Structure 1
Amino acid sequence: MASSIFHFVLLFLLTFSSSRVQSHEQGYIRAEISNKGLEFLKDLLIEKAESSLVPLELPNIEKHVKIPIVGTVQMVLSDITIERIHVTSSTLKSGDSGIVIDVSGSTANLSTNWKYSYSTWLLPIAFSDKGSATVQVEGLEVGLTLSLKTLEGSLKLSLLECGCYVNDISINLDGGASWLYQGLVDAFEGKISSAVEDAVPKKIKESIVKLDSLLQSLPKEVPVTNIAALNITFIDDPELSESSLDLEINGLLSAKDEFMLSSKYHSLRDSFFCKEADKMVKFSFHEDVLKSASSVYFEANKMHWLLDKAPDQSLLNTAGWRFIVPQLYKKYPNHDMNLNLSVSSPPIIEVDKQQIRVKVPLDVVIDVLDVDEVIPVLCISVDAVSSSGENSKFGLLQVISTSMSAEISRNAVTGSVKLNDFTMSLNWSKVGDLHMRLIQILMSTTLKTVILPYVNLKLSKGFQLPAFHGYELLDAQIVCKDSWIVICSDVSSV
């Protein structure tokens, strides 16, 4: 079975389970798949199964028929192969013991070779003939019941029941004196039907066993960058209702090979409605996912930036500061400067109604460039409160205020940050006392014209959402509320 088919079937099976086992853990990332999404996945599975189940070889069939005067005729069908299966109707529903998938009204095409031989007391020689045949199966029905449960953070897949039934079958011979033996070969219809009814469930069972093995081998964390990994252990069994299916994973980021301990949070009790209610999938991300990522990058010393260019380059020269910090200009006249930015502690992140509020404790060290020497001259601490609109125009940046709603389209998540307010204090200075009120005015200008444009430039590059085996999000929307970021979307082929 092809690897790509395995992944499609795996994606489908990840969505099903017969019951929900309560757990004391919580999932920080949740996926909700609507009936529309389940139908999409079901149809995708059926489409792949039509090709993955074939060619399917059946055992040889042999039969002896006694004919008056002629004697005993030996007939053999060999190289029996199901070459094509076409599904015309299928349904999915929740049963008492699991998820039930019914396939009905389907057809199958088989090919085979036939041979007969007999001898009679009337003549001293044996007679034989051979040829090929095509078999058409009508009204093929397949039913299976699946169970998917969470076991130690992984998924355990089981096939509870599987059955197959053939309603009608017709055999057409070719070669030899086929017209003469058509009536005899029709006697094989029952055995061919039984062979199909035995082979199809066996093939499905083998596939489920392989898929279960694949599920058990999946890692429990996925590298996101060279320093961070996403905890993808499953929390509770998937839950299926009349309108959707819910999945939960831990979803917190940690340094590679170091799982983070979960904390309690306000549960997602209320439903989130996107503009289009009938979306295939809905992903919910708790603010703690962002906090865990922030913590990992802070501990890895990745929240440090050096600014040496600005839209207004005078802000990075002592001449631009001569009236505010006269001692700086007097000591280093017309010297270029760098702004050395370091986050002093993990940012505080809160998801509110249609906005993400971030409080960043930032140390800004001003470096003077003197010939080949970089001289730190003063350090200012800034507690900046900003809001980020995850305005994910998938490839197109749109700067938004905290009052604007976010959007998603195409294949990259971008964002923008707008400054709401900030406070500042002087940590140390090598150029004497400063007029902090004037410094705050200048720093406000610097934040708005230098630092935030720099940050937004980085965010404008976006975060590419990888396609899943040729499929991506379509017409996605974002809703932010009560500590959760919710993305509603359809799915389409790339």
Structure 2
Amino acid sequence: MLYIGVSSFTPNSAGFVYNNAGALSLYVTDDMIPPSSPIRLNTGTFGVFIPEIAKRFPGMMMKLLVKTVKEPTISLEPNNVTVQASGTVTAYAIQPNTTLSPLFVLNMEGSVSAQMNVTGVKLAGAITLNKIEMTLGTSYVGQFQVQSLDNIFLMVLKVVVIPKVNARLEKGFPLPTIGKMNLINTQLQVLKDYMLIGTDVQFTG
């Protein structure tokens, strides 16, 4: 049996690279929200909670930019992978000429749990949301209670952002291999500060 150790330095380094490359950002538009949802990304929905939006930008669609402001921190504890992330959510109204008018910027601190697995010769995974805290960074539409928007942003995270992240994680990241080999009967253990992968090896030529 072959054993492969993956320290917490490896995923944290990957997070650093992806963040610096701008890969940890996502535009969210209304067509990404399930049609059955009563919550829409438009100034009508947000205007209920922030009247100035409906007053100054009536009948317009909106766009959200969700991005990290620094690399995520990944912690490995026995049977537990936790990711702490700091980011911002910038809301825009889409003008008839497609110009984006900024409405507000929220600061976001979040925590997710990750389930890791090995598929083929790749390390893959999926995340679930633990908690999220948001505060007002900048507003162009007056002061408002951020908590009034909690349900909207929880929905956006759960039905758009997290599925997008999981789709990328499902593709996996290559593990070190020698020549043409497959990993079979693979078991993964999450330990303090590292993951241990035990596997049988099958060479394919």
Q: Deviations over 1:265-305 (max 9, x none)?
A: xxxxxxxxxxxxxxx11111111222222223333333322
Q: Could you say which residue in structure 1 is the equivalent of 2:72?
A: 347
Q: Deviations over 1:207-256 (max 9, x none)?
A: xxxxxxxxxxxxxxxxxxxxxxxxxxxxxxxxxxxxxxxxxxxxxxxxxx
Q: Could you say which residue in structure 2 is the equivalent of 1:367?
A: 92
Report 1:379-390 matches (<5 A): 379-390=105-116
Specify the SS of the correspondent of 1:445.
Answer: helix
Q: Could you say which residue in structure 2 is the equivalent of 1:444?
A: 154
Q: Please state if 1:481 is matched with 2:204.
A: no
How many percent of aligned residue pairs carry the same amino acid? 23
Opposite residue 49 of structure 2, the aligned amino acid is I
Report 1:315-464 matches (<5 A): 315-371=40-96, 372-392=98-118, 394=119, 410-464=120-174
Q: 1:444 to 1:493 in 2, by over 3 A?
A: same
For normalisation by structure 2, the TM-score amounts to 0.86
Q: Is the 8 A contact 1:310 1:316 kept in 2?
A: no
**Bigger proportion of residues as strand:** 2
Q: How many angstroms apart in 2 are the aligned matches of 1:490 and 1:320?
A: 54
Q: Could you say which residue in structure 2 is the equivalent of 1:288?
A: 9
Q: Is the 8 A contact 2:25 2:67 kept in 1?
A: yes
Q: Could you say which residue in structure 2 is the equivalent of 1:260?
A: none
Q: How many angstroms apart in 1 are the aligned matches of 2:69 and 2:152?
A: 21
Report 1:70-469 matches (<5 A): 280-308=1-29, 309-312=31-34, 314-371=39-96, 372-392=98-118, 394=119, 410-464=120-174, 468-469=178-179
Q: Is the 8 A contact 2:67 2:87 kept in 1?
A: yes
Specify the SS of the correspondent of 1:391.
Answer: strand
Q: CA deviation at 1:451?
A: 1.6
Specify the SS of the correspondent of 1:414.
Answer: strand
Q: 1:366 to 1:484 in 2, by over 3 A?
A: same
Specify the SS of the correspondent of 1:349.
Answer: strand
Opposite residue 146 of structure 2, the aligned amino acid is M
Q: Deviations over 1:163-199 (max 9, x none)?
A: xxxxxxxxxxxxxxxxxxxxxxxxxxxxxxxxxxxxx
Q: 1:325 to 1:454 in 2, by over 3 A?
A: farther
Q: How many angstroms apart in 2 are the aligned matches of 1:315 and 1:463?
A: 35
Specify the SS of the correspondent of 1:342.
Answer: strand
Q: 1:321 to 1:384 in 2, by over 3 A?
A: same
Q: CA deviation at 1:492?
A: 0.7
The gaps in structure 1 that reach 5 residues or longer are 1-279, 395-409
For normalisation by structure 1, the TM-score amounts to 0.38
Q: Could you say which residue in structure 2 is the equivalent of 1:398?
A: none
Q: CA deviation at 1:357?
A: 0.5
Q: Is the 8 A contact 1:315 1:446 kept in 2?
A: no
Q: Deviations over 1:287-327 (max 9, x none)?
A: 12222222233333333222234233643222332322222
Q: Is the 8 A contact 2:33 2:156 kept in 1?
A: no
Q: How many angstroms apart in 2 are the aligned matches of 1:486 and 1:325?
A: 50
Q: How many angstroms apart in 1 are the aligned matches of 2:51 and 2:169?
A: 36
Q: Is the 8 A contact 2:85 2:109 kept in 1?
A: yes
Q: Which has the higher contact order (CA 8 A, sep 6+)?
A: 2
Q: Is the 8 A contact 1:317 1:334 kept in 2?
A: yes
Q: Deviations over 1:59-95 (max 9, x none)?
A: xxxxxxxxxxxxxxxxxxxxxxxxxxxxxxxxxxxxx
Q: How many angstroms apart in 2 are the aligned matches of 1:429 and 1:452?
A: 26
Q: Deviations over 1:124-161 (max 9, x none)?
A: xxxxxxxxxxxxxxxxxxxxxxxxxxxxxxxxxxxxxx
Specify the SS of the correspondent of 1:323.
Answer: helix
The gaps in structure 2 that reach 5 residues or longer are none
Q: How many angstroms apart in 1 are the aligned matches of 2:193 and 2:175?
A: 22
Please provide the CA RMSD for this pair.
2.1
Q: CA deviation at 1:467?
A: 6.2
Opposite residue 350 of structure 1, the aligned amino acid is S
Q: How many angstroms apart in 2 are the aligned matches of 1:307 and 1:466?
A: 35
Q: Is the 8 A contact 1:386 1:419 kept in 2?
A: yes
Q: Deviations over 1:35-58 (max 9, x none)?
A: xxxxxxxxxxxxxxxxxxxxxxxx
Q: 1:300 to 1:327 in 2, by over 3 A?
A: same
Opposite residue 160 of structure 2, the aligned amino acid is V
Opposite residue 474 of structure 1, the aligned amino acid is I
